Amino acid sequence: MTKSTTIPVSGNTRIVARALSALLAGGLAVSQAQAAPAEPASATPATTGEKSAASASSLALTRQQIVARAEHALKTPTKYRTAKNGPIKLSTPKGNNNYLGGHNLNVYNNYNGQSWCGHFAAAMWGKQGVPAKYEASQRWRTHMGNRFHPYRVNRLPQPADVLVWTNTSNSAFGHVGVVVSVKGRSVTTIEGNAGAGTDSVTRRTYSWDDKRATGGPYLPSKKFAGFASAR
């Protein structure tokens, strides 16, 4: 058996040992701190005001995306046909009009020959939050719940909302268009199934105070009903 040997330790050696221990402990603490996930800046739940601000920011982004889609649709060559089973062609956008052949046969309504202003509005919304059977323009008025706002002179829409008109001869039919800007009392839209040949994507600007019908944005043979809110 080997005898254990006690080595005398001087005072200086003890001091050095203590210093080394302190350095090692400090290094271990630093390593643990670096490895640990960062703590949130604040664990306090968001206040109502903070939640509202975040919600408003998200809402603004959604509206911006809808407006961007509409602007893109106005300026981008789009697929259409001039006969039910005819070859697919590409439109040639010009200024504020993108003519799609004059036969209601285009990519928005899947070339079915039907009116397509509702199809266009739904496509601009990414088909999210749209009414059931959105292809029927009046669904944007009758099936949006409290997101539909009847016309009031002091309540204007926001970009990305959808304006709704009814036909004066038959309120079961009408037209819709997507708002892309609001400046003062002027509201600008990009609409499908409108413009040249009533078969275009087109830009229009309306006066919110127009009195030629019953008030609000004016279209011949139509009555302005109000607007559907994007969110």
Are 202 and 189 in contact by the 8 Å Cβ rule? The answer is: no
Using pLDDT thresholds of 50, 70 and 90, give the confidence band for residue 97.
Answer: very high
Contacting residues for 134 by C-beta, under 8 A, at least 6 apart: 118, 119, 121, 122, 127, 140
The reported pLDDT for the residue numbered 211 is 83
CA distance 89 to 101: 9
The reported pLDDT for the residue numbered 61 is 58
Q: Residue 104 pLDDT > 80, yes or no? A: yes
- CATH architecture assignment, domain 60-228: Alpha-Beta Complex (3.90)
Q: Residue 17 pLDDT > 60, yes or no? A: no
Question: What are the residue boundaries of the structural domains of the chain, listed by start?
Answer: 60-228
pLDDT digit string (tens) for 24-53? 344 433 333 333 333 333 333 334 333 434
Q: Residue 56 pLDDT > 80, yes or no? A: no
Q: What is the rounded end-to-end Cα distance, in angstroms, of the chain?
A: 86
CA distance 4 to 176: 97
Tell me, what DSSP letter sits at residue 115?
-
Give the chain's largest Cα–Cα span. 115
CA distance 77 to 80: 10
The reported pLDDT for the residue numbered 214 is 73
Question: DSSP for 59-79?
Answer: HHHHHHHHHHHHHHHHHS--E
- Helices then strands, counting H and E runs in the chain, come out as 4, 9
Are 137 and 118 in contact by the 8 Å Cβ rule? The answer is: yes
Tokens read off for 128: 């999210």
Alpha helix ranges (H) inside the chain: 11-35, 48-75, 117-124, 139-142
CA distance 39 to 197: 61
